[in-house]
Chain A
Amino acid sequence: MPPLAWHALMAFIVLNAILGLVAYVTLLERKFAARMQSRIGPYYVGRPHGWLQPIADALKLMLKEDVVPTAADRGVYNLAPIVFLVPCILIYATIPFAPDLGVADLNIGVLFFLAVSSLEIVGLFMGGWGSNNKYALLSAMRAVNQIISYDLPFIFAALVPVLLAGSLQMSTIVAAQQGLWFVAYPVFGQLAFVAFVVATLAAENRVPFDILEAESELVAGFRVEYSGMKFALIQLGEYAHMLGTSFLGALLFLGGWLGPGPAWLGPLWFLLKAVLVFLLVTWVRWSFVRIRVDQILAISWKVLLPASILLLFATGLWVATRGAGA
Protein backbone atom coordinates (compact mmCIF):
# COMPACT_ATOMS: atom_id res chain seq x y z
CA MET A 1 0.00 0.00 0.00
CA PRO A 2 1.44 3.45 -0.90
CA PRO A 3 2.25 5.60 2.13
CA LEU A 4 -0.24 8.31 1.16
CA ALA A 5 -3.13 5.84 1.04
CA TRP A 6 -1.97 4.33 4.33
CA HIS A 7 -1.98 7.74 6.02
CA ALA A 8 -5.40 8.54 4.58
CA LEU A 9 -6.82 5.22 5.83
CA MET A 10 -5.24 5.74 9.23
CA ALA A 11 -6.62 9.27 9.44
CA PHE A 12 -10.10 7.97 8.55
CA ILE A 13 -9.96 5.31 11.26
CA VAL A 14 -8.58 7.65 13.93
CA LEU A 15 -11.11 10.36 13.08
CA ASN A 16 -14.08 8.03 13.43
CA ALA A 17 -12.73 6.31 16.52
CA ILE A 18 -12.18 9.69 18.16
CA LEU A 19 -15.67 10.91 17.33
CA GLY A 20 -17.20 7.78 18.83
CA LEU A 21 -14.95 8.01 21.85
CA VAL A 22 -15.78 11.67 22.40
CA ALA A 23 -19.51 10.91 22.34
CA TYR A 24 -19.08 8.33 25.08
CA VAL A 25 -16.71 10.52 27.08
CA THR A 26 -19.63 12.91 27.54
CA LEU A 27 -21.65 10.04 29.00
CA LEU A 28 -18.74 9.14 31.26
CA GLU A 29 -18.51 12.70 32.50
CA ARG A 30 -22.25 12.91 33.17
CA LYS A 31 -22.21 9.63 35.06
CA PHE A 32 -19.15 10.68 37.04
CA ALA A 33 -20.64 14.06 37.89
CA ALA A 34 -23.89 12.40 38.89
CA ARG A 35 -22.10 9.99 41.24
CA MET A 36 -20.27 12.89 42.85
CA GLN A 37 -23.62 14.54 43.56
CA SER A 38 -25.35 11.34 44.70
CA ARG A 39 -27.46 11.14 41.55
CA ILE A 40 -27.73 8.35 39.00
CA GLY A 41 -27.26 10.35 35.81
CA PRO A 42 -28.58 9.31 32.39
CA TYR A 43 -30.53 6.11 32.87
CA TYR A 44 -33.61 5.57 30.72
CA VAL A 45 -32.26 5.91 27.17
CA GLY A 46 -30.63 2.54 26.72
CA ARG A 47 -31.37 0.91 30.06
CA PRO A 48 -29.91 0.20 32.47
CA HIS A 49 -27.21 2.84 32.33
CA GLY A 50 -28.08 5.21 29.55
CA TRP A 51 -25.78 3.59 27.01
CA LEU A 52 -27.73 5.13 24.14
CA GLN A 53 -27.83 8.64 25.59
CA PRO A 54 -24.96 10.08 23.45
CA ILE A 55 -26.58 8.72 20.28
CA ALA A 56 -29.92 10.21 21.29
CA ASP A 57 -28.27 13.54 22.05
CA ALA A 58 -26.56 13.60 18.66
CA LEU A 59 -29.80 12.74 16.84
CA LYS A 60 -31.70 15.40 18.74
CA LEU A 61 -29.14 18.07 17.90
CA MET A 62 -29.15 17.10 14.22
CA LEU A 63 -32.92 17.37 13.98
CA LYS A 64 -33.15 20.72 15.76
CA GLU A 65 -33.95 23.93 13.93
CA ASP A 66 -30.93 26.03 13.05
CA VAL A 67 -31.60 29.54 14.37
CA VAL A 68 -29.37 32.36 13.13
CA PRO A 69 -29.74 35.72 14.90
CA THR A 70 -30.72 38.43 12.43
CA ALA A 71 -28.06 40.79 13.75
CA ALA A 72 -25.29 38.20 13.48
CA ASP A 73 -22.31 38.66 11.18
CA ARG A 74 -23.39 35.72 9.06
CA GLY A 75 -20.10 34.74 7.47
CA VAL A 76 -18.14 34.77 10.71
CA TYR A 77 -21.01 33.24 12.67
CA ASN A 78 -21.41 30.30 10.29
CA LEU A 79 -17.70 29.62 9.92
CA ALA A 80 -16.91 29.76 13.62
CA PRO A 81 -18.02 26.21 14.63
CA ILE A 82 -15.90 24.70 11.84
CA VAL A 83 -12.88 26.87 12.61
CA PHE A 84 -13.29 25.82 16.23
CA LEU A 85 -13.71 22.11 15.53
CA VAL A 86 -10.89 21.57 13.02
CA PRO A 87 -7.93 22.28 15.37
CA CYS A 88 -9.61 20.25 18.10
CA ILE A 89 -9.68 17.20 15.83
CA LEU A 90 -6.35 17.92 14.15
CA ILE A 91 -4.46 17.54 17.44
CA TYR A 92 -4.96 13.78 17.17
CA ALA A 93 -2.88 13.72 13.98
CA THR A 94 0.45 13.34 15.75
CA ILE A 95 -0.61 11.18 18.69
CA PRO A 96 0.65 7.63 18.23
CA PHE A 97 -1.67 5.15 19.94
CA ALA A 98 0.96 2.40 19.96
CA PRO A 99 4.37 2.10 18.29
CA ASP A 100 3.73 2.78 14.58
CA LEU A 101 -0.02 3.12 15.12
CA GLY A 102 -1.05 6.68 14.43
CA VAL A 103 -1.63 9.11 11.60
CA ALA A 104 1.83 10.71 11.52
CA ASP A 105 4.53 10.46 14.16
CA LEU A 106 6.16 13.80 13.27
CA ASN A 107 9.59 14.62 14.64
CA ILE A 108 8.08 17.82 16.06
CA GLY A 109 4.95 16.05 17.33
CA VAL A 110 4.60 17.89 20.64
CA LEU A 111 5.18 21.24 18.99
CA PHE A 112 2.56 20.45 16.34
CA PHE A 113 0.07 19.59 19.07
CA LEU A 114 0.73 22.87 20.89
CA ALA A 115 0.58 24.91 17.69
CA VAL A 116 -2.67 23.41 16.47
CA SER A 117 -4.39 23.57 19.83
CA SER A 118 -3.50 27.26 20.14
CA LEU A 119 -5.59 27.88 17.00
CA GLU A 120 -8.76 26.86 18.81
CA ILE A 121 -9.10 30.37 20.24
CA VAL A 122 -9.64 31.83 16.76
CA GLY A 123 -12.85 29.86 16.25
CA LEU A 124 -13.98 30.61 19.77
CA PHE A 125 -13.45 34.30 19.24
CA MET A 126 -15.22 34.24 15.87
CA GLY A 127 -18.22 32.61 17.50
CA GLY A 128 -18.37 35.12 20.30
CA TRP A 129 -17.93 38.12 18.06
CA GLY A 130 -20.02 36.95 15.13
CA SER A 131 -23.07 36.24 17.29
CA ASN A 132 -23.44 39.96 17.96
CA ASN A 133 -24.63 39.29 21.46
CA LYS A 134 -23.18 41.08 24.44
CA TYR A 135 -22.90 37.94 26.55
CA ALA A 136 -21.17 36.06 23.75
CA LEU A 137 -18.80 38.97 23.19
CA LEU A 138 -17.94 39.28 26.87
CA SER A 139 -17.30 35.56 26.98
CA ALA A 140 -15.04 35.74 23.93
CA MET A 141 -13.03 38.56 25.52
CA ARG A 142 -12.63 36.61 28.73
CA ALA A 143 -11.62 33.57 26.72
CA VAL A 144 -8.93 35.50 24.91
CA ASN A 145 -7.58 36.82 28.20
CA GLN A 146 -7.56 33.45 29.82
CA ILE A 147 -6.25 31.33 26.99
CA ILE A 148 -3.42 33.72 26.19
CA SER A 149 -2.46 33.68 29.89
CA TYR A 150 -2.48 29.91 30.23
CA ASP A 151 -0.93 29.00 26.89
CA LEU A 152 2.56 29.76 28.14
CA PRO A 153 2.45 27.70 31.39
CA PHE A 154 0.85 24.88 29.36
CA ILE A 155 3.70 24.95 26.84
CA PHE A 156 6.37 25.15 29.54
CA ALA A 157 4.85 22.27 31.51
CA ALA A 158 4.67 20.17 28.35
CA LEU A 159 8.29 20.98 27.56
CA VAL A 160 9.59 19.42 30.79
CA PRO A 161 9.05 15.82 29.55
CA VAL A 162 10.38 16.94 26.17
CA LEU A 163 13.60 18.06 27.85
CA LEU A 164 13.81 14.88 29.91
CA ALA A 165 13.38 12.74 26.81
CA GLY A 166 15.51 14.99 24.60
CA SER A 167 13.04 14.80 21.72
CA LEU A 168 9.87 16.43 20.41
CA GLN A 169 8.74 13.18 18.81
CA MET A 170 5.91 11.53 20.73
CA SER A 171 7.06 7.94 20.24
CA THR A 172 10.59 8.81 21.44
CA ILE A 173 9.15 10.47 24.54
CA VAL A 174 7.24 7.30 25.37
CA ALA A 175 10.28 5.15 24.70
CA ALA A 176 12.30 7.32 27.10
CA GLN A 177 9.84 6.44 29.88
CA GLN A 178 10.54 2.73 29.57
CA GLY A 179 12.16 2.49 33.00
CA LEU A 180 10.37 5.24 34.88
CA TRP A 181 7.32 7.28 33.88
CA PHE A 182 8.05 10.99 33.85
CA VAL A 183 5.40 11.61 36.50
CA ALA A 184 7.50 9.49 38.84
CA TYR A 185 10.67 11.49 38.27
CA PRO A 186 11.63 13.00 41.61
CA VAL A 187 10.32 16.56 42.04
CA PHE A 188 10.45 17.62 38.36
CA GLY A 189 7.92 15.08 37.23
CA GLN A 190 5.30 15.76 39.88
CA LEU A 191 5.61 19.55 39.72
CA ALA A 192 5.39 19.53 35.94
CA PHE A 193 2.37 17.23 36.07
CA VAL A 194 0.59 19.53 38.53
CA ALA A 195 1.38 22.56 36.36
CA PHE A 196 0.17 20.64 33.32
CA VAL A 197 -3.13 19.70 34.95
CA VAL A 198 -3.78 23.27 36.16
CA ALA A 199 -2.96 24.74 32.76
CA THR A 200 -5.13 22.06 31.14
CA LEU A 201 -8.08 23.02 33.31
CA ALA A 202 -7.69 26.61 32.20
CA ALA A 203 -7.11 25.78 28.55
CA GLU A 204 -10.26 23.65 28.51
CA ASN A 205 -12.25 26.28 30.40
CA ARG A 206 -13.37 23.92 33.15
CA VAL A 207 -14.32 24.96 36.64
CA PRO A 208 -12.58 26.63 38.52
CA PHE A 209 -11.50 28.48 35.36
CA ASP A 210 -14.78 28.54 33.48
CA ILE A 211 -15.52 32.29 33.68
CA LEU A 212 -16.07 32.39 29.96
CA GLU A 213 -19.23 30.38 30.18
CA ALA A 214 -20.17 31.24 33.78
CA GLU A 215 -23.82 30.37 33.32
CA SER A 216 -25.01 32.59 36.15
CA GLU A 217 -23.66 35.74 34.50
CA LEU A 218 -23.07 34.97 30.82
CA VAL A 219 -25.83 32.43 30.11
CA ALA A 220 -23.75 29.98 28.06
CA GLY A 221 -20.88 32.19 26.98
CA PHE A 222 -19.74 32.40 23.39
CA ARG A 223 -22.05 29.62 22.20
CA VAL A 224 -25.26 31.14 23.53
CA GLU A 225 -26.60 31.97 20.05
CA TYR A 226 -25.79 28.61 18.52
CA SER A 227 -28.35 25.88 18.11
CA GLY A 228 -28.74 22.53 16.41
CA MET A 229 -25.82 21.11 14.51
CA LYS A 230 -23.60 24.17 14.99
CA PHE A 231 -23.96 23.85 18.73
CA ALA A 232 -23.18 20.15 18.38
CA LEU A 233 -19.99 20.95 16.46
CA ILE A 234 -18.82 23.34 19.18
CA GLN A 235 -19.60 20.84 21.93
CA LEU A 236 -17.84 18.12 19.95
CA GLY A 237 -14.79 20.32 19.51
CA GLU A 238 -14.68 21.13 23.19
CA TYR A 239 -14.79 17.50 24.28
CA ALA A 240 -12.41 16.42 21.53
CA HIS A 241 -9.95 19.03 22.77
CA MET A 242 -10.36 17.84 26.34
CA LEU A 243 -9.79 14.21 25.41
CA GLY A 244 -6.88 15.11 23.16
CA THR A 245 -5.19 16.99 25.97
CA SER A 246 -5.78 14.01 28.24
CA PHE A 247 -4.09 11.79 25.67
CA LEU A 248 -1.17 14.24 25.57
CA GLY A 249 -0.93 14.20 29.38
CA ALA A 250 -0.99 10.40 29.46
CA LEU A 251 1.67 10.32 26.78
CA LEU A 252 3.98 12.94 28.28
CA PHE A 253 3.73 11.94 31.94
CA LEU A 254 2.16 8.51 32.30
CA GLY A 255 4.21 6.53 29.84
CA GLY A 256 1.69 6.34 26.98
CA TRP A 257 1.15 2.74 25.91
CA LEU A 258 3.72 1.27 28.30
CA GLY A 259 2.29 -1.22 30.76
CA PRO A 260 2.38 -4.84 31.80
CA GLY A 261 1.11 -7.53 29.49
CA PRO A 262 1.64 -8.26 25.79
CA ALA A 263 2.30 -5.47 23.30
CA TRP A 264 -1.21 -5.52 21.83
CA LEU A 265 -2.55 -4.31 25.18
CA GLY A 266 -0.64 -1.04 24.60
CA PRO A 267 -3.46 1.00 23.04
CA LEU A 268 -5.80 -0.14 25.83
CA TRP A 269 -3.32 0.99 28.49
CA PHE A 270 -2.98 4.30 26.70
CA LEU A 271 -6.75 4.75 26.53
CA LEU A 272 -7.09 3.83 30.20
CA LYS A 273 -4.46 6.38 31.22
CA ALA A 274 -6.00 9.10 29.05
CA VAL A 275 -9.40 8.43 30.61
CA LEU A 276 -7.80 8.62 34.06
CA VAL A 277 -6.34 12.04 33.25
CA PHE A 278 -9.75 13.07 31.91
CA LEU A 279 -11.44 11.90 35.11
CA LEU A 280 -8.85 13.76 37.19
CA VAL A 281 -9.78 16.96 35.38
CA THR A 282 -13.48 16.17 35.76
CA TRP A 283 -13.00 15.46 39.44
CA VAL A 284 -11.48 18.92 39.93
CA ARG A 285 -14.29 20.39 37.87
CA TRP A 286 -17.03 19.05 40.07
CA SER A 287 -15.21 19.74 43.36
CA PHE A 288 -14.34 23.42 43.13
CA VAL A 289 -16.15 26.71 42.73
CA ARG A 290 -15.56 29.24 40.01
CA ILE A 291 -12.98 31.95 40.79
CA ARG A 292 -12.93 35.57 39.63
CA VAL A 293 -11.29 36.89 36.46
CA ASP A 294 -8.56 38.80 38.28
CA GLN A 295 -7.79 35.77 40.44
CA ILE A 296 -7.49 33.59 37.34
CA LEU A 297 -5.09 36.00 35.67
CA ALA A 298 -3.10 36.49 38.88
CA ILE A 299 -2.67 32.73 39.30
CA SER A 300 -1.32 32.45 35.80
CA TRP A 301 1.02 35.43 35.62
CA LYS A 302 2.18 35.61 39.21
CA VAL A 303 2.43 31.96 40.21
CA LEU A 304 2.12 29.43 37.43
CA LEU A 305 4.21 31.15 34.76
CA PRO A 306 7.26 31.99 36.94
CA ALA A 307 7.05 28.57 38.57
CA SER A 308 6.93 26.73 35.26
CA ILE A 309 9.80 28.78 33.84
CA LEU A 310 11.88 28.00 36.93
CA LEU A 311 10.94 24.35 36.64
CA LEU A 312 11.95 24.25 32.99
CA PHE A 313 15.23 25.95 33.87
CA ALA A 314 15.93 23.47 36.67
CA THR A 315 15.08 20.55 34.39
CA GLY A 316 17.42 21.96 31.78
CA LEU A 317 20.24 22.16 34.32
CA TRP A 318 19.58 18.62 35.47
CA VAL A 319 19.50 17.26 31.93
CA ALA A 320 22.65 19.20 31.05
CA THR A 321 24.55 17.55 33.88
CA ARG A 322 23.03 14.08 33.55
CA GLY A 323 22.39 13.84 29.83
CA ALA A 324 19.01 13.52 28.10
CA GLY A 325 17.10 10.39 27.24
CA ALA A 326 16.87 7.12 29.09
Chain B
Amino acid sequence: MTHAAFLVIAALAVASALGLVLRRNAIHGALFLVVNLGSVAALYLTLGAEFLAAVQVIVYAGAIMVLFVFAIMVLIPGKEETGLDPRRGWRLLALPVGALLALQLLLVVRAGVGPVAPAAAVPGGVEAVARLLFTRYLLPFELTSVLLLAAMVGVLLLARRRV
Protein backbone atom coordinates (compact mmCIF):
# COMPACT_ATOMS: atom_id res chain seq x y z
CA MET B 1 0.00 0.00 0.00
CA THR B 2 2.70 2.49 1.01
CA HIS B 3 4.88 1.29 -1.83
CA ALA B 4 2.13 1.79 -4.40
CA ALA B 5 1.36 5.23 -2.99
CA PHE B 6 5.01 6.15 -3.26
CA LEU B 7 5.18 5.03 -6.88
CA VAL B 8 2.09 7.02 -7.87
CA ILE B 9 3.18 10.19 -6.06
CA ALA B 10 6.75 9.95 -7.31
CA ALA B 11 5.54 9.51 -10.88
CA LEU B 12 3.33 12.58 -10.43
CA ALA B 13 6.25 14.57 -9.04
CA VAL B 14 8.54 13.61 -11.93
CA ALA B 15 5.85 14.25 -14.52
CA SER B 16 5.04 17.68 -13.12
CA ALA B 17 8.74 18.54 -12.93
CA LEU B 18 9.06 17.62 -16.62
CA GLY B 19 5.99 19.73 -17.34
CA LEU B 20 7.59 22.64 -15.53
CA VAL B 21 10.75 22.43 -17.65
CA LEU B 22 9.18 21.61 -20.99
CA ARG B 23 6.23 24.01 -21.14
CA ARG B 24 6.89 27.19 -23.09
CA ASN B 25 4.25 29.12 -21.20
CA ALA B 26 5.79 30.39 -17.97
CA ILE B 27 2.45 30.40 -16.12
CA HIS B 28 1.78 26.78 -17.07
CA GLY B 29 5.25 25.98 -15.79
CA ALA B 30 4.49 27.66 -12.50
CA LEU B 31 1.22 25.72 -12.15
CA PHE B 32 3.16 22.50 -12.77
CA LEU B 33 5.50 23.58 -10.00
CA VAL B 34 2.48 23.79 -7.66
CA VAL B 35 1.68 20.16 -8.51
CA ASN B 36 5.30 19.21 -7.96
CA LEU B 37 5.50 20.88 -4.54
CA GLY B 38 2.17 19.33 -3.60
CA SER B 39 3.40 15.85 -4.47
CA VAL B 40 6.52 16.42 -2.40
CA ALA B 41 4.17 17.27 0.49
CA ALA B 42 2.33 14.00 -0.20
CA LEU B 43 5.66 12.17 -0.05
CA TYR B 44 6.25 13.69 3.39
CA LEU B 45 2.81 12.41 4.39
CA THR B 46 3.65 8.85 3.35
CA LEU B 47 6.73 9.14 5.58
CA GLY B 48 4.50 10.14 8.48
CA ALA B 49 5.89 13.69 8.63
CA GLU B 50 2.50 15.36 8.78
CA PHE B 51 3.76 18.64 10.18
CA LEU B 52 6.35 18.98 7.45
CA ALA B 53 3.73 18.23 4.80
CA ALA B 54 1.35 20.87 6.12
CA VAL B 55 4.10 23.47 6.32
CA GLN B 56 5.26 22.58 2.82
CA VAL B 57 1.76 23.23 1.52
CA ILE B 58 1.27 26.49 3.46
CA VAL B 59 4.65 27.97 2.63
CA TYR B 60 5.47 26.66 -0.82
CA ALA B 61 2.33 25.54 -2.62
CA GLY B 62 0.23 28.31 -1.11
CA ALA B 63 2.24 31.47 -0.55
CA ILE B 64 5.53 31.30 -2.42
CA MET B 65 4.10 29.77 -5.58
CA VAL B 66 1.44 32.41 -5.82
CA LEU B 67 4.08 35.09 -5.51
CA PHE B 68 6.04 33.37 -8.30
CA VAL B 69 3.02 33.37 -10.55
CA PHE B 70 2.34 36.97 -9.68
CA ALA B 71 5.91 38.01 -10.48
CA ILE B 72 5.87 36.11 -13.77
CA MET B 73 2.62 37.75 -14.76
CA VAL B 74 3.64 41.28 -13.82
CA LEU B 75 7.33 41.33 -14.66
CA ILE B 76 7.98 38.94 -17.53
CA PRO B 77 6.49 40.12 -20.82
CA GLY B 78 5.73 37.75 -23.68
CA LYS B 79 8.23 36.94 -26.40
CA GLU B 80 6.59 39.24 -28.91
CA GLU B 81 7.50 42.17 -26.68
CA THR B 82 11.11 41.34 -25.87
CA GLY B 83 12.24 39.72 -29.11
CA LEU B 84 14.93 37.04 -29.07
CA ASP B 85 16.88 36.39 -25.91
CA PRO B 86 20.08 38.50 -26.29
CA ARG B 87 22.13 36.10 -24.20
CA ARG B 88 21.16 32.93 -26.01
CA GLY B 89 24.72 31.56 -25.86
CA TRP B 90 24.59 31.39 -22.10
CA ARG B 91 22.05 28.64 -22.31
CA LEU B 92 24.78 26.24 -23.38
CA LEU B 93 26.09 26.48 -19.82
CA ALA B 94 23.09 24.38 -18.79
CA LEU B 95 24.74 21.29 -20.30
CA PRO B 96 27.88 21.04 -18.10
CA VAL B 97 25.99 22.18 -15.00
CA GLY B 98 23.24 19.64 -15.63
CA ALA B 99 25.79 16.88 -16.23
CA LEU B 100 27.52 17.74 -12.97
CA LEU B 101 24.23 17.61 -11.10
CA ALA B 102 23.33 14.26 -12.68
CA LEU B 103 26.72 12.89 -11.67
CA GLN B 104 26.22 14.05 -8.11
CA LEU B 105 22.77 12.48 -7.96
CA LEU B 106 24.16 9.25 -9.33
CA LEU B 107 26.88 9.19 -6.68
CA VAL B 108 24.38 9.88 -3.92
CA VAL B 109 22.09 7.10 -5.11
CA ARG B 110 25.03 4.70 -5.50
CA ALA B 111 26.28 5.47 -2.00
CA GLY B 112 22.80 4.55 -0.80
CA VAL B 113 21.22 6.18 2.21
CA GLY B 114 19.63 2.90 3.12
CA PRO B 115 15.99 2.43 3.98
CA VAL B 116 14.64 5.46 5.80
CA ALA B 117 13.44 4.63 9.28
CA PRO B 118 9.65 4.52 9.43
CA ALA B 119 8.28 7.71 10.86
CA ALA B 120 6.57 6.00 13.78
CA ALA B 121 9.87 6.68 15.53
CA VAL B 122 8.92 10.38 15.68
CA PRO B 123 5.68 10.71 17.59
CA GLY B 124 3.60 13.83 17.06
CA GLY B 125 5.93 15.53 14.66
CA VAL B 126 5.30 19.07 15.86
CA GLU B 127 6.92 18.54 19.25
CA ALA B 128 9.84 16.64 17.75
CA VAL B 129 10.52 19.30 15.12
CA ALA B 130 10.24 22.09 17.70
CA ARG B 131 12.56 20.35 20.11
CA LEU B 132 15.20 19.82 17.42
CA LEU B 133 14.86 23.39 16.15
CA PHE B 134 15.36 24.92 19.56
CA THR B 135 18.14 22.64 20.81
CA ARG B 136 20.33 20.91 18.29
CA TYR B 137 19.72 23.16 15.31
CA LEU B 138 19.28 26.43 17.21
CA LEU B 139 22.25 28.19 15.63
CA PRO B 140 21.44 27.34 11.97
CA PHE B 141 17.80 28.21 12.66
CA GLU B 142 18.64 31.65 14.05
CA LEU B 143 21.19 32.29 11.32
CA THR B 144 18.58 31.53 8.67
CA SER B 145 16.16 33.95 10.23
CA VAL B 146 18.85 36.68 10.29
CA LEU B 147 19.50 35.96 6.61
CA LEU B 148 15.81 36.30 5.80
CA LEU B 149 15.60 39.51 7.81
CA ALA B 150 18.58 40.93 5.90
CA ALA B 151 16.92 40.02 2.60
CA MET B 152 13.72 41.70 3.73
CA VAL B 153 15.48 44.90 4.74
CA GLY B 154 17.35 44.88 1.43
CA VAL B 155 14.12 44.56 -0.52
CA LEU B 156 12.60 47.45 1.41
CA LEU B 157 15.64 49.59 0.64
CA LEU B 158 15.52 48.77 -3.08
CA ALA B 159 11.80 49.40 -3.32
CA ARG B 160 12.09 52.66 -1.44
CA ARG B 161 14.54 54.15 -3.90
CA ARG B 162 12.17 53.46 -6.78
CA VAL B 163 9.12 55.17 -5.40
Q: A residues bordering B, Cβ < 8 Å? A: 75-76, 106-108, 111-112, 114-116, 118-119, 121-122, 125-126, 129, 137, 141, 144-145, 147-148, 151, 155, 168
* A323 smallest CB distance to B (angstroms): 16
Are A144 and B58 within 8 A (Cβ)?
no
Are A141 and B70 within 8 A (Cβ)?
yes
| Chain B residue contacts of A112, Cβ below 8 A | 50, 54
Q: List 26 A-B contacts (CB under 8 A).
A: A76-B28, A76-B31, A107-B124, A107-B126, A108-B51, A111-B126, A112-B50, A115-B54, A115-B57, A115-B58, A115-B62, A116-B57, A118-B61, A118-B62, A118-B63, A119-B62, A122-B31, A122-B61, A122-B62, A129-B27, A129-B69, A141-B70, A141-B74, A144-B66, A145-B70, A148-B63
| Chain A residue contacts of B126, Cβ below 8 A | 107-108, 111, 168
| Chain B residue contacts of A75, Cβ below 8 A | 28
| Chain B residue contacts of A122, Cβ below 8 A | 31, 34, 61-62, 65-66
A-B pair number, CB within 8 angstroms: 69
Q: Answer whether residue B73 sits at the interface, using C-beta atoms and an 8 A cutoff.
A: yes
Kindly state the separation between the CA atoms of A75 and B28 in the bound complex, as whole angstroms. Answer: 10
User: Which of B54, B69, B125 touches A125 (beta carbons < 8 Å)?
Assistant: B69
Q: Answer whether residue B67 sits at the interface, using C-beta atoms and an 8 A cutoff.
A: yes
* A282 smallest CB distance to B (angstroms): 26
| Chain B residue contacts of A125, Cβ below 8 A | 66, 69
* A50 smallest CB distance to B (angstroms): 37
Per-residue contact bits, chain B 96-140, to A (CB 8 Å; 1 contact, 0 not): 000000000000000000000000000011100000000000000
Kindly state the separation between the CA atoms of A147 and B62 in the bound complex, as whole angstroms. Answer: 10
Kindly state the separation between the CA atoms of A148 and B71 in the bound complex, as whole angstroms. Answer: 13
Kindly state the separation between the CA atoms of A187 and B3 in the bound complex, as whole angstroms. Answer: 50
| Chain A residue contacts of B65, Cβ below 8 A | 122
Per-residue contact bits, chain B 28-72, to A (CB 8 Å; 1 contact, 0 not): 100100100000000000000011011101100111011101100
Q: B residues bordering A, Cβ < 8 Å? A: 27-28, 31, 34, 50-51, 53-55, 57-58, 61-63, 65-67, 69-70, 73-74, 124-126
Give A122's nearest chain B residue, CB to CB: B34
Known: A108-B54, A118-B58. A151 touches B31 (CB 8 A): no
Q: Beyond the given A112-B54, A144-B66, A144-B69, please list 15 additional residue pairs across the A-B interface where CB-CB is below 8 A.
A: A76-B28, A76-B31, A106-B50, A108-B126, A111-B54, A111-B55, A114-B54, A115-B55, A118-B61, A119-B62, A122-B34, A125-B66, A144-B70, A148-B66, A155-B58
Kindly state the separation between the CA atoms of A118 and B61 in the bound complex, as whole angstroms. Answer: 8
Are A119 and B57 within 8 A (Cβ)?
yes
* A192 smallest CB distance to B (angstroms): 19
Known: A76-B28, A108-B125, A168-B126. A121 touches B57 (CB 8 A): no
| Chain A residue contacts of B61, Cβ below 8 A | 118-119, 122
Give B56's nearest chain A residue, CB to CB: A115
| Chain A residue contacts of B57, Cβ below 8 A | 115-116, 118-119
Kindly state the separation between the CA atoms of A116 and B58 in the bound complex, as whole angstroms. Answer: 8
Are A121 and B66 within 8 A (Cβ)?
yes
Kindly state the separation between the CA atoms of A15 and B28 in the bound complex, as whole angstroms. Answer: 31
| Chain B residue contacts of A155, Cβ below 8 A | 58
User: Which of B31, B51, B55, B62 touches A126 (beta carbons < 8 Å)?
Assistant: B31
Kindly state the separation between the CA atoms of A106 and B54 in the bound complex, as whole angstroms. Answer: 12
* B9 smallest CB distance to A (angstroms): 17
Kindly state the separation between the CA atoms of A116 and B124 in the bound complex, as whole angstroms. Answer: 20
Are B67 and A148 within 8 A (Cβ)?
yes
| Chain A residue contacts of B74, Cβ below 8 A | 141
Question: Which 5 pairs, one residue from A and one from B, show the smallest C-beta to C-beta distance?
Answer: A118-B62, A115-B57, A111-B54, A115-B54, A115-B58
